[in-house]
């Protein structure tokens, strides 16, 4: 059975007009740690070469710590996915997956065996959506209503996620409903914390212009306050507490000179400041959407 994601966030801090768990979610379950049993199949369309892996809780798509994108991409996946769940957006179950020292030893493909060898220990996974297909805005545009599109655009602008474009939508349609996947490129500030000053924290994220749902969405300003109100500092801390030390102790974080606690503190301060009003990312998404909508008739006229 596929379930929507579950995370442990403090419900008391959420406004009462914002029901959190209507999406087949169970509150107060922590991120599970599963054991990888069998490498089933690589997903070659993914740049990081994720794979379907059988675990003690069924099939998951594992994003490997030893892939080129590194541990920070896995942390972005976790933080973004859990924040999306807190906002009731549809994300497959998230889990940590433990790879034993012997896992993948008989894998014949050298590229895969190299990644597996570097990924012993903790990795990040999303439940495998069996039979899902990649969302294509032209083919499946009516499967996402405008309100949901607006909320997804807001989330991606908050997270500085450049990876939800028409070319690479990183959304799947499963049982005629959309699911958000692949947040590994989000939160890109964490690749260079040293250069993250106040201006960068409040980056308006103009890349939102390329978001596949931007012109399908309503004005982002219409959801801005309500969404930001859900992501209180308690919710953000609850999410960060679930990011395991095993990931935050990776060399990528040590290179910043950070302990896991210090790494969490950086994310907390970045996200809490970004979420403070006025939110430049929401204002910009709103403005860019209006500009794009006003361009559409011009493009049509020009083609004639």
Ligand X SMILES: Nc1ncnc2c1ncn2[C@@H]1O[C@H](COP(=O)(O)OP(=O)(O)OP(=O)(O)O)[C@@H](O)[C@H]1O
Which spans of this chain sit near ligand X (rule: CB under 6 A)?
43, 45-48, 50, 61, 92, 126-129, 132, 134, 163, 168, 170, 172, 181-182, 184
Matching residue, tokens 């260079």: 192
Of residues 63 and 279, the one with the C-beta less far from ligand X: 63
Task: Output the smallest distance, CB 37 to ligand X, in A.
Answer: 18
Output the six-digit token pair for 146: 């405008």
Of residues 164 and 264, the one with the C-beta less far from ligand X: 164
Using CB atoms, what's the residue nearest to ligand X? Answer: 46
Question: Which listed option, Mg ion, ligand X, none, makes contact with residue 165 (CB within 5 to 8 Å by class)?
Answer: none
Q: Which residues contact 214 (CB under 8 A, 6 or more apart)?
A: 153, 208, 285, 288, 289, 292
Contact status, residue 60 vs residue 43, Cβ threshold 8 Å? no
**Angle value at C-alpha 162, between 71 and 129, nearest 5 degrees:** 70
Query: How many angstroms separate the CA atoms of 85 and 23, rounded?
Result: 9
Output the six-digit token pair for 196: 């993250």
Q: Which residues contact 103 (CB under 8 A, 6 or more apart)?
A: 36, 39, 116, 120
Task: Output the smallest distance, CB 58 to ligand X, in A.
Answer: 12
Contact flags string 143-172 toward Mg ion, x per CB under 5 A: ---------------------------x--
Nearest to 276 by CA among 202, 181, 206: 202
Q: How many CA atoms lie within 13 A of 88 on its CB side?
A: 16
Question: Which listed option, ligand X, Mg ion, none, makes contact with residue 128 (CB within 5 to 8 Å by class)?
Answer: ligand X
Of residues 121 and 162, the one with the C-beta less far from Mg ion: 162
Question: Which listed option, ligand X, Mg ion, none, makes contact with residue 125 (CB within 5 to 8 Å by class)?
Answer: none
Query: Which residues from 174-193 bind Mg ion, rule CB under 5 A?
Result: 182
Question: Which listed option, ligand X, Mg ion, none, makes contact with residue 47 (CB within 5 to 8 Å by class)?
Answer: ligand X
Question: Which listed option, Mg ion, ligand X, none, makes contact with residue 9 (CB within 5 to 8 Å by class)?
Answer: none
Q: How many CA atoms lie within 13 A of 295 on its CB side?
A: 8
Query: How many angstroms separate the CA atoms of 201 and 185, rounded?
Result: 16
Of residues 44 and 303, the one with the C-beta less far from Mg ion: 44
**Separation in Å, CA 157 to CA 51, 165, 224, 225:** 28, 13, 11, 14
Task: Output the smallest distance, CB 55 to ligand X, in A.
Answer: 13
Question: Which listed option, ligand X, Mg ion, none, makes contact with residue 134 (CB within 5 to 8 Å by class)?
Answer: ligand X
Query: How many angstroms separate the CA atoms of 27 and 122, rounded?
Result: 24
Query: How many angstroms separate the CA atoms of 129 and 119, rounded?
Result: 23
Site for Mg ion contains 69 (CB under 5 A):
no
Question: Which listed option, Mg ion, ligand X, none, makes contact with residue 224 (CB within 5 to 8 Å by class)?
Answer: none
Site for Mg ion contains 77 (CB under 5 A):
no
Which positions touch Mg ion (CB under 5 A)? 170, 182
């Amino acid at each position: 059975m596929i379930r929507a994601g579950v995370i442990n966030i403090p419900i008391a801090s959420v406004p009462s007009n914002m029901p959190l768990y209507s999406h087949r979610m169970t509150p107060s379950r922590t991120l599970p740690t599963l054991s990888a049993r069998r490498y089933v199949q690589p997903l070659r369309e993914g740049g990081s070469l994720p794979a379907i892996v059988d675990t003690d809780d069924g099939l998951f798509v594992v994003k490997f710590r030893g892939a080129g994108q590194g541990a920070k991409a896995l942390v972005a996946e976790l933080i973004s996915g859990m924040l999306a769940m807190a906002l009731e957006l549809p994300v497959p179950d998230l889990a940590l997956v433990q790879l034993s020292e012997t896992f993948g030893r008989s894998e014949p493909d050298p590229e895969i065996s190299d990644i597996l060898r570097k990924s012993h220990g903790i990795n990040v996974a999303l439940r495998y959506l069996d039979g899902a297909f990649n969302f294509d805005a032209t083919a499946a545009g009516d499967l996402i209503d405008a309100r949901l599109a607006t909320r997804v655009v807001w989330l991606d602008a908050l997270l500085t996620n450049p990876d939800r474009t028409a070319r690479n939508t990183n959304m799947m349609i499963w049982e005629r409903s959309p699911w958000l996947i692949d947040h590994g490129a989000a939160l890109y500030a964490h690749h260079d914390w040293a250069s993250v000053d106040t201006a960068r924290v409040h980056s308006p994220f103009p890349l939102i212009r390329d978001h596949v749902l931007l012109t399908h969405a309503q004005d982002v300003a219409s959801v801005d306050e309500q969404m930001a109100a859900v992501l209180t500092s308690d919710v953000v801390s609850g999410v960060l507490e679930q990011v395991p030390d095993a990931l935050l102790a990776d060399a990528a974080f040590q290179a910043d000179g950070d302990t896991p606690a210090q790494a969490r503190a950086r994310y907390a301060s970045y996200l809490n400041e970004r979420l403070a009003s006025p939110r430049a990312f929401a204002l910009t998404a709103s403005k860019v959407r209006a500009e794009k909508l006003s361009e559409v008739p011009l493009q049509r006229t020009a083609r004639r």
